[in-house]
Amino acid sequence: MEELLDILKDMKPGVQFENEANLIDDGILDSLDVMNLSVILNDEYDIEITPLDIIPENFKSIESIYALITRLQED
C-alpha cells in the first residue's frame, strides 16, 4: 500500500490520494494516467493488467487499485 502510494504521488504530485474515492469521475486520473499507471504497475508487481481490467471501479481509489493488484497477483 505504501509503495503504491509512492508510485501515485510520483505520478501526480500534489494529490491527496488517501482521501480520494472518485479518482476517475472527478477527473484526477484520465485515460493517459491510467495507462501510464498500468504500465508501471505491470512492471513493479510483475502482473498483467489487461484492457478488461481497465474499468472505473478498479481505479476509483487507492484501495481499489490495491485490490486489483492483489487479485492479479493471485491469478
Partner 1 sequence: MSYTSFSYLLFFLGITYVLYTLFPKKYKYIVLLCMSYLFYIVSSSWLIVFIVLTTFIIYFSAIWIDKINSIFIDVKKNLNRDEKKNLKNKLLWQKKAVVCVMLFFCLGALIFLKYYNLFSEILNFVIFQHIHLELPYLKLLLPLGISFYTLQAISYVIDVYRGKYKADYCLPRVALYLVFFPTIVEGPIGRYDEYAYQLYEGHSFHYENLTFGCQLILWGLFKKLVIADRANLFVNVVFKSPQDYAGFAVIFSIIFYTIQIYTEFSGCMDIVRGSAQIFSVHLPQNFKQPFFSKSINEFWQRWHMTLGTWLRDYVFYSVSLSQPFKKFNQLVKNHCNGYLSKLLPATTALFFVWICNGLWHGASIKYIVYGMYYYVLMVLGMFLEPVFIKVMKIFHIHKETQYFRVFQIIRTCILVNIGMLIFRAKDLTTAWNMFLSCFRDFSLQPLSSYGLRLSDLLMIVCGVVIVFIVGVLKEKGVSIRETIAKRNIVLRWTVYFAALFIVIILGAYGRGYDAVSFIYAQF
Q: Which residues bind partner 1 (CB under 8 A)?
A: 30-32, 35-36, 38-39, 42-43, 49-52, 54
Q: Which three cell numbers stand for residue 24?
A: 476517475
Question: Minimum distance between the CB of residue 18 and partner 1, rounded to whole angstroms?
Answer: 22
Rg (CA), the chain: 11
Which of residues 5 and 40 has its CB atom nearest to partner 1 in the complex?
A: 40
* Residue closer to partner 1, measured from CB, 1 or 36: 36
| Euclidean distance between CA atoms 30 and 43, whole angstroms | 20
End-to-end CA distance of the chain: 19
Q: Which is nearer to partner 1, 1 or 6 (CB)?
A: 6
